[in-house]
Structure 1
Amino acid sequence: MLIGYMRVSKTDGSQVNDLQRDALIGAGVDMTHIYEDRASGKQEDRPGLMACLKALRAGDTLIVWKLDRLSRDLRHLINTVHDLTGREIGLKVLTGHGATIDTTTAAGKLVFGIFATLAEFERELIAERTFAGLASARARGRCGGRPYKMTPVKLRLAMASMGWTETTVGTLCKELGISRQTLYRHVSPDGQLRNDGIKLLNRE
C-alpha cells in the first residue's frame, strides 16, 4: 500500500498543501491514505506524522513530496528511515535533492545507506577532532579553536542540507564544524557547488 505524508509550516492557513497533495495522488496514493501536519519540521512528535508512521505496515511505501517535508534534521531523518527499513517499509521521495532516494529499490537503499553511513562517520570524526582540538588548546592555555576545514563528506552533507527550505545556516555550520565563510565558498544558498567546492571534489 502507498501512504503519503505532507506538511506545511504555518498553521494560519497562509500555506496550503495542494501542490504536495496533487503530487502524492499523481504518484498513486489514495486520498484516504494521505496524512498531513501544519507544524514546523523541528517538531519530531507531529500528530500527523505519528499517525502516519503508526499506520504503516510491512510491505507499504511511505511517499513524501520532498525530504524536508518529512524532517529538517538529519539525525531525525536517518533514524526515521532506519526504523522504516527495519519494519520492511519503503520510502520514496518525489522531488528535490532527495529524489534519488527510493528504498524500495536496491539502488535507492544503497544511496541512503551510504548517505547515513557517511553522516554517522563524519559526526564521529567531528566529535573526535573537537575533543582533540580543545585538549590541545587547553594545553597551550587557549580556549575554543578555529573551525575545521571543509571535507568532501561535509561538502555533500552541506549540499543536501542547503537544499532544504528550513535549514538554518548557523546550525548547519555548527554541526559540520565550519565557518559561514567556508560554507559559502563551497556551496551556494540553494545547495549548488561553487568553484571551491568543485575543486575539492575533483581532488578526491
Structure 2
Amino acid sequence: MLIGYARVSTQDQNLELQTEALTKAGCKKIFSDKISGSRAERPGLTKAQEALREGDTLVVWKLDRLGRSVRHLVDLVGKLHNEGVQFKSLTDAIDTGTASGRFFFHVMASLAEMERELTIERTRAGLEVARLLGRKGGRRRQMTDSKIKSAKKLLASGVPPRDVAGNLGVSVPTLYRWIPASNHP
C-alpha cells in the first residue's frame, strides 16, 4: 500500500498541492502536518509511520517535506528499510525500491543539505556586509533623535510622561527606555 505524507511549514500555507499529487500517485492514506520541518515532534509523520506495514511505501511530494537534515533523512529511510518499507519522493523521482533509487536518494539528500548550508553561509555573509556598511537588522527604532529631543523639552516643561509618549506615538516604557525617569522631573 502507498501511504502519503504531506507537510507545510506554517499554518497559512496550503497542503492541497501535495495531497492532490499524493492522491494521483495512488496513496490510499495521507497524513499531514502544518509544522516546521525542524521540529522533532510531527504528529502526522508519527501516524504515517505507525500505519506503515512491511511491503508498504511511504510517499512524499518532495524530499524536503520529510526530513530536517540529511542525517535525519538517511536515518528515517534506513529505519523504514529495516522494517521492509520503501520510500518514494514524487518530484525528486526517488524510489528506494531499486538500487539506483537508493543511490539517488543518498545523492539528493546530500545535495539538499549542501544547498541549505550554502544558503546559511550566503545569509551570514550578506548580514556581515550589511553590518560593515553600517546597516543594522531588526525593526526601525521608534525613538528617533528628534523625538528624544522633543520628549526632553516636553518633560522639562512639566508635561506628564504619558502625554509625551502619546504625542510622540510611542508607549511609556519606550519613552522611559530612551529617557530614564531619573533624567526628568
TM-score between both structures, scaled by the size of structure 2: 0.60
Matches within 5 A, 1:145-164: 157=110, 159-161=111-113
Match of 1:3 in 2: 3
Match of 2:20 in 1: 22
CA distance in 2 between partners of 1:63 and 1:57 (Å): 13
Identity %: 45
Sort the Cα spacing of 1:61 and 1:180 in 2 relative to 1 into closer, same or farther, 3 A.
Answer: farther
Match of 1:65 in 2: 61
Q: Which runs of 5+ in 2 are unaligned?
A: 127-185
Match of 1:108 in 2: 101
Matches within 5 A, 1:124-203: 157=110, 159-161=111-113, 169-170=119-120, 173=121
Aligned to 2:94, what secondary structure does the other structure show? coil
Letter in 1 for 2:99: A
**What whole-Å deviation, never above 9, does each CA across 1:145-204 have from its counterpart, x for those lacking one?**
xxxxxxxxxxxx3x433667xx7833xx5xxxxx969xxxxxxxxxxxxxxxxxxxxxxx
Superposed displacement of residue 55, structure 1: 1.1
Letter in 1 for 2:13: Q
CA distance in 2 between partners of 1:72 and 1:66 (Å): 13
Matches within 5 A, 1:22-41: 22-30=20-28, 33-41=29-37
CA distance in 2 between partners of 1:89 and 1:17 (Å): 24
Superposed displacement of residue 43, structure 1: 1.1
CA distance in 2 between partners of 1:180 and 1:89 (Å): 42
Aligned to 1:52, what secondary structure does the other structure show? helix
State how many pairs are aligned.
124
CA distance in 2 between partners of 1:109 and 1:65 (Å): 17
Letter in 1 for 2:14: V
CA distance in 1 between partners of 2:33 and 2:74 (Å): 20
Sort the Cα spacing of 1:103 and 1:180 in 2 relative to 1 into closer, same or farther, 3 A.
Answer: farther
TM-score between both structures, scaled by the size of structure 1: 0.54
